[in-house]
A and B are shown apart, each in its own frame.
Chain A
Amino acid sequence: MSLVRSHVLVCGGTGCTASGSLSIEDKFKECLEKFDLVNEVDIVKTGCFGLCEAGPIVVVYPEGAFYSSVKADDIERITEEHLLKGRIVKDLLFKEAIEENVIKSVDEVKFYKRQKRIALKNCGVINPEVIDEYIAYDGYRALGKVLTEMSQQDVIDEIKRSGLRGRGGGGFPSGLKWQFTKNATGDVKYVACNADEGDPGAFMDRSVLEGDPHAVIEAMAIAAYAIGASEGFVYIRAEYPIAVNRLEIAIEQAKEYGLLGDNIFGTDFSFDLQIRLGAGAFVCGEETALIESIEGRRGMPRPRPPFPANKGIWQKPTLLNNVETYANIPQIILKGSEWFSSIGTEKSTGTKVFALGGKINNTGLVEIPMGTTLRDVIFEIGGGIPKGKAFKAVQTGGPSGGCLTEAQLDEEISYDNLVSLGSMMGSGGMIVMDEDNCMVDVARFFLDFTVDESCGKCTPCREGTKRMLEILDKICQGKAEMEDLNRLDSLANMIKDSALCGLGQTAPNPVLSTIEHLDMKYVEHITDKKCTAGVCQDLLQIKITDDCIGCTACKNVCPVDCISGERKSLHEIDQNECIKCGACIDKCPVNAIIKE
């Protein structure tokens, strides 16, 4: 490898790619030619940096200059000013990377400062398509150590001691799962990776695979060694083309280097890995449905027991972990379980990656130590709510999770704490809502998702969630009575209690948690027929106040001709005809039309 003066890291994650990072990379190459810097500067296409809000992102080392929202037109300036003349282009830096004219490196930015990156360690650091870069960052050292220095049980004990729990949502102790699979009787065993990330808004698994695919491959090989498997599957949704592509490249390269295949590191251990593409059904993230899908059948959950550890893929003992869980493994092996368990809380060790979304300034991926409070994540790392609006609730755990309110903001993030608050860790979606969000509507939104994504196998989930949605519709339309709220609550509890799989059992959570923490919002919809957040259309009225000057602008714009009134006199809206489109509000020159 040749030595260069500067490294230019261009984010190649899905978010930045969508906003044009590929053309930025091309433009840089073009400019380096132009300024004759080809031998002095390296362009590295990396995985996701996490701060997707500010994409496309470019970071220039050694300074760590953090350019955000970069456009192709900016490249020539960055090349000439920064790379050629050594002057950072301040006006293109991320807004927080410059304070009182002092430039902060990417690590010093608030968004990153509070993070602790283990699973995302190499994301935004190395080129995921070059195995040498991974190896240069200690890649495959853990596998080497495991194969040459550790017994199968040593590995499992180390994972157990680390306290690592499943990052896919359930939080089952990983070491225990490995132990069960090792102990299961069977001549053939499999390891599998759940990369069927389905929570709306969550994309940490995609980012790991896009930014650091070898970490997952290495971890799966370690797991295979520990449980006695020689074949593995990565089940990944086809909607992740970049991740699939990088994983394919990584597997090829690992095979070339002898890190996959027969007699790895000259030992008796052999391991091969295959990719299985999923069609994007949410339920295929459920482990038994995922296994059915790998086997080529319709993705529908199987009853458990038998658990996959005993009867998984093709009825063989199968270890199934999710991407983020695997991404922690090499670090635990290299740095030790003690190091890992010193991070986080007693029962939730290590870190967790969250996908911040909704009404928050810094949307993107953050990896934080367990035990961080919700407030820190939302207001410190996430930068708070845009436009100074008031915080209303945060939804964790995706469609299976629940909503937490102001009162719970100082709670620590850990598996058990979130569950006790009526939500869950889930795969790490975190959606922030402000005063403009109607919580009944939010609950309805998530339920609508689970109704769509139910596989249709068991009665409570297939039929019950649909009936819940119908009741919520009634509430949002102002047609419900208090009895409906009781029915909603008891049906939700029944579904939670009797559905077949995790999807069904958790589908009512958004409703149950909002009823628990925000029941007055439901009552307000039902008894007052009001939606104070102004979201539920049927409960709104558009009215013309006395400020009306009778200009007739509203009357002319109304698409259903429901506004009456003579020129220069007060106008009136026929509430029976009004479709609440709001066109009149926008048109009124004196703000005399209001929603209430």
Chain B
Amino acid sequence: MENMVNVTIDGQELSVPNSYTVLEAAREVGIDIPTLCYLKDINEVGACRVCVVEVEGARNLIASCVQPVNEGMVVKTHSRRVRQSRRTNLELVLANHNRECLTCSKNGSCELQTLSDELGVSDRNFEGAKREGHFDDLSPSVVRDSSKCILCGRCVNVCKQTQGIGILDFVNRGFETVVAPAFEMSLTEVPCISCGQCINVCPVGALTEKDNTDLIWDALENDDLHVIVQTAPAVRSALGEEFGYPIGTGVTGKMVAALKKLGFDKVFDTNFAADLTIMEEGHELLGRVKNGGTLPMITSCSPGWINYIENFYPEFLDNLSSCKSPQQMFGAIAKSYYAEKFEIDPKKIFVASVMPCVAKKGEIKREAMEANGLRDVDAVITTRELAKMIKEARIDFNKLEDQSYDKVLGEYTGAGVIFGATGGVMEAALRTVVDVVTGDDLEELEYTAVRGVEGVKEASLEIGDLTVNAAIAHGTANAASLLEKVKSGEKDYHFIEIMACPGGCVNGGGQPFVNAETRNSIDIRVERAQVLYSEDSGLPLRKSHKNPEIQALYSEYLGEPNGHKAHELLHTHYNQQEKYNRNK
């Protein structure tokens, strides 16, 4: 048991574990000390000085987010001295901030805005020079506007610590300090993997996704086009947050209804393509095991992860499954099988994706992501952008009646749904691989060892006379530590699932913002994943190969998994990237 210490906060006495910070202790008794740079587990640096408190006996004010409690500590959290200091610090931040709040994409979800309101700042005190801003929108995924940056360091730490990359860091000193890539290069010239985790943690609008809603609106306006949309599994787990639903509320039916109201000709599900991916990837794995192919085989659904391995672990490129991601498989099938089946000119099909991910925006532009000379997917918007479109179209989301996905590319199994959570692809693959190898239809299909938010997970499974060793990593820092173990020979696996984002797609870079305060008490990765696992358990079909539309696709069109046609449409290749290149 932890050692407890007694502290007094604003006159209230309490006993808390000695590992607590003053901030955590205060929250135990309902005192919500304001914070700005602080982000639990990611950025605990004491830089903004907004969370300062007065500690008896201390000469200066103390940053409560990093100050551990001591026995007998007496703390004041809202004395005049504290409030003035907080307010002045916030005013100082605002004085150097691009205050185009009304036209900022973060308007309404900006933590600086909220705090300014709550702490009653007036920024007229400090008019003066402003730092020169730098605007970079060359990346297909991430837009950086340093004129809005408040130098909290959250993006720096999430990129460096959580993702193990370190694209962004502080550059220059003092008042001239900016957060930027090395030499203030564009994000396109550095090994940014476009995971968008920096966007998710940015308290202001300094890092945002590249907005592609106009592409979708334009397509929807164009009567010559047959506009179809696919929604990734994780989108349904979080979209509701944008419309006031508690975190962890699934809104599949309303989302489908909203998309139909927006005017899409068909609303399909990436889950369908996830099932297809399992067919291809599962058979690829079996093939590699049987024929002595390169092992471990590593999943390839996460485009952030693909960017990462191409930049940082090119020696493992042969280990990657050659499968396109579900998003791309969907597009390829839509413009071939679907087009033929419904006699639509594939050139007139516009495939839109709603993704929890900003790297997907770059994935559709990759060289090999086309079939028959047509891009697999034409435009990607994130969960956030979809919410924006729904709001702009003045659709009353909460009042929508649930609707179902359209047929042919809309049927899915529980295996497809859980793709959105870390371990989901592994679990889905195991469900199919076990049946294929044993020829059975196993009822035991939940593999709990691969679930959860542990950074690296392992499972060992007896399938027939074969022992399959599997590992799962999410967040690229975890991926790196796993790959290092494989490289050194310390670990030996058959199959590895890697997702670039911590927690998998449910916590992707395109998901609704969750502010620091909420993150103190809720692990959004767990809550959102729960939506997917509960949808899975409620579905009649939970194994990809049982999906009747998938079965039809193979029998009517593709033939065998990993067959010639499948290879042409559903597989791709990878290339080592040059990390720093001015001409990228």
Residues of A bordering B, CB below 8 Å: 281, 298, 300, 303, 305, 451-467, 470, 487, 491, 494, 496-500, 505
Q: Within the complex, which residue of B47, B48, B88, B174 is in contact with A466, where a contact is CB–CB below 8 Å?
A: B174
Q: A470 is contacted by which of B68, B93, B128, B172 (Cβ under 8 Å)?
A: B128
CB distance from B294 to the nearest CB of A (A): 35
Chain B residues near A305 (CB-CB < 8 A): 67-68
B47 x A459 contact (CB < 8 A): yes
Question: Once bound together, how far apart are the Cα atoms of A426 and B119, in whole Å?
Answer: 36
Q: Which of B58-66, B383-391, B392-400, B549-557 contacts A (4 or more CB under 8 A)?
A: B58-66
Within B120-176, which residues are at the interface with A (CB < 8 Å)? 125-126, 128-129, 151, 153, 169-170, 172-176
Q: Which of A454, A462, A499 has the most CB of B within 10 A?
A: A462
Residues of A within 8 A of B61 (CB): 497-498
**Contact B176–A460 (Cβ < 8 Å):** no
A577 to chain B, nearest CB (A): 27
B positions within 8 Å CB-CB of A? 45-50, 52, 60-61, 63, 66-68, 81, 84-85, 88-89, 92-93, 95-96, 125-126, 128-129, 151, 153, 169-170, 172-177
Are B173 and A498 neighbours in the complex by a CB distance under 8 Å? no
Does the CB pair B63–A500 fall under 8 Å?
Answer: yes
A-B contact pairs, 5 of them (CB 8 A): A454-B173, A456-B176, A457-B47, A499-B60, A500-B46
- Interface residue from A455, A470, A491, A497 paired with B173 (Cβ < 8 Å): A455
Which A residue sits closest to B176, measured CB to CB?
A456
Contact in complex: A462, B174 (CB < 8 Å): yes
Q: Which partner residue on chain B sits nearest A491 by CB separation?
A: B88
Contact A463 B175 (CB under 8 A): yes
CB distance from A527 to the nearest CB of B (A): 22
Nearest Cβ distance between residue A318 and chain B, in whole angstroms? 19
Name the A residues within 8 Å of B93 (CB-CB). Answer: 459, 463
- Tell me which residues across on chain B come within 8 A of A464, comparing CB atoms: 88-89, 92
> What is the total of A-B residue contacts with beta carbons within 8 Å?
101
Please give 7 more A-B residue pairs, beta carbons under 8 A apart, in addition to A500-B47, A505-B60.
A456-B151, A456-B173, A457-B153, A458-B48, A460-B89, A467-B128, A500-B63
Verify B92–A467 contact, CB threshold 8 A.
yes
Residues in B with CB closer than 8 Å to A459 are: 47-50, 89, 92-93
**A306 — nearest CB in chain B belongs to which residue?**
B68
Q: Which residues of A contact B153 (CB under 8 A)?
A: 457
- Interface of chain A: mostly helix, strand, loop or mixed: helix
Which 10 A-B pairs rank lowest in CB-CB distance, beginning with the nearest?
A: A456-B177, A454-B174, A463-B92, A303-B46, A303-B66, A466-B175, A470-B128, A498-B61, A459-B89, A498-B85
Closest residue of chain A to B92, judged by CB?
A463
Q: Are B47 and A458 in contact (CB under 8 A)?
A: yes
Q: Report how far A497 CA is from B85 CA in the complex, Å.
A: 8
Bound CA–CA A498/B89 (angstroms): 9
Do B173 and A452 touch (CB < 8 A)?
yes
Complex Cα distance, B87 from A460, in Å, reads 11
Q: How far is the CA of A238 from the CA of B251 in the complex (A)?
A: 61
A283 vs chain B, min Cβ distance (A): 8
Q: In the complex, A497→B53 CA distance in Å?
A: 11
The answer to whether A298 touches B170, judged by C-beta atoms less than 8 angstroms apart, is yes
- Taking each of A305, A461, A498, which has the highest tally of chain B beta carbons within 10 Å of its own beta carbon? A498
Task: Output the nearest chain B residue to A467 by Cβ-Cβ distance.
Answer: B126
Minimum CB–CB distance from B192 to chain A (whole Å) comes to 19
CA distance A534 to B49 in the complex (A): 39
Give the shortest distance, in Å, between A511 (CB) and chain B (any CB).
16
CB distance from A192 to the nearest CB of B (A): 22
- CA separation between A457 and B93, bound complex, in Å? 12
Query: Are B170 and A456 in contact (CB-based, < 8 A)?
Result: yes
Q: Is the CB of B45 within 8 A of A463?
A: no
Kindly name the residue among B46, B92, B125 whose own CB sees the greatest number of chain A CB atoms within 10 A. Answer: B92
CB nearest to B46 among chain A residues: A303
CB < 8 Å: which of A457, A458, A463 contacts B96?
A463
Nearest CB of chain A from residue B142's CB, rounded to whole Å: 22
A497 to B93, CA, bound (A): 17
Contacts of A281 in B (CB 8 A): 173
> CB-nearest residue of chain A relative to B97?
A463
Q: Which of A451, A497, A500, A505 is in CB contact (< 8 Å) with B81?
A: A497
> Does B95 lie within 8 Å of A463, measured CB to CB?
yes
Cβ of B60: which chain A residues have Cβ within 8 Å of it?
Answer: 496-499, 505
Contact of A303 among B63, B126, B175 (CB under 8 A): B63
Take A456-B170, A467-B92, A498-B60 as given contacts and tell me if A462 and B49 are in contact as well, using a CB distance cutoff of 8 Å.
no
